[in-house]
Amino acid sequence: MSAGFVDRQQVGRRFSRVAGAYAEADFFVREVDGRMQERLDYVSLKPKRILDLGCSRGGSFSALMTRYPDAELIGLDLSPAMLRAGRLQPSGWRRWLGGGKKSDPWRLAADAAQLPLAARSTALVWSNLLLHWLDDPIPALAEAHRVLEVGGLLMFSTLGPDTLKELRSAFGDGYAHTQRFADMHDLGDMLVGCGFADPVMDMEVITLTYDDLDAMLTELRAAGSMCAMKDRRHGLTGRQAWATARAAYERLRQDGKLPATFEIVYGHAWKAAPKQTPDGRAIVRFDLPRKG
């Protein structure tokens, strides 16, 4: 995927604008987070450090800290406003062990493609619904691979190509009305290309329903999830364009409701021991026989 399609400043502005009320609008993110957490039930891992990549207000913190109470947790997000809002949320999930309070998660404002962490410093990289906000997932996946220790795990979710397909088809005016979404199989290839081993990808479709188009758009705006592509319409949408889009969407109404499709792509992969040195020389290991 080529760089230069996503307006990253617009992404930051959108999420910063909704940060204060995001806890009332992030139900979809929390739902996907819960489904990701269930996948950890089948993973044997005792991480000493976890990186939550694209953590927003820290919606995944509580479950991760409950599951891995001895791990240090770092939350990283592009929006400082989201990180500040997360510090103000109720802290009933803070942990107490032996009468002493464990430290709260670290919060870092940074780009997922340029992580301010040392190589091999993290055991689990967790990322819920971040990758589709990037021009290209590969730099972020490569950075995740760099900061993971050998044997470490990357687990992520993102949105697939069928997401909001009804909205795209309703407009059809040549402008972008949704993000560009990577295909599940392409993401699997990217993981392998970044050096990950044994990638596992799966997908499910969630369909939300609304009384009307305005209700759906209001919900997307409240969650900071409106289109941030560079080729979106930058001026106001004309009355005729809106009327055409509403009429097209109305033709999709089923059982009195308008559908909105979300394709959720889940992936996880492990960081295996390197097979060659950075300069390209092969690494050959010899297991010497044990004495006695």
What are the domain boundaries of the chain?
Answer: 8-159+180-204+264-271
pLDDT at position 172: 81
Contact between 9 and 16 under an 8 Å Cβ cutoff? The reply is no
CATH class of the region 8-159+180-204+264-271: alpha beta
pLDDT at position 96: 32
pLDDT at position 4: 79
Contact between 224 and 17 under an 8 Å Cβ cutoff? The reply is yes
Task: State the alpha helices, DSSP H only, in the chain.
Answer: 8-18, 27-39, 61-67, 80-87, 137-147, 165-171, 184-193, 213-222, 239-250
pLDDT at position 69: 95
pLDDT at position 209: 98
pLDDT at position 186: 97
Per-residue pLDDT tens, the chain, 292 aa: give them. 445 799 999 999 999 999 999 999 999 999 999 999 999 999 999 999 999 999 999 999 999 999 999 999 999 999 999 999 998 665 434 433 333 345 689 999 999 999 999 999 999 999 999 999 999 999 999 999 999 999 999 999 999 999 999 999 999 888 999 999 999 999 999 999 999 999 999 999 999 999 999 999 999 999 999 999 999 988 778 889 899 999 999 999 999 999 999 999 999 999 999 876 666 665 544 445 555 4
pLDDT at position 2: 44
pLDDT at position 215: 97
Q: How far apart are CA 248 and CA 209, in angstroms?
A: 16
pLDDT at position 195: 97
Return the closest-CA partner of residue 261 out of 70, 28, 64, 3: 28
Contact between 55 and 107 under an 8 Å Cβ cutoff? The reply is yes
Please give the single-letter amino acid code of residue 288. L
pLDDT at position 291: 52
pLDDT at position 237: 81
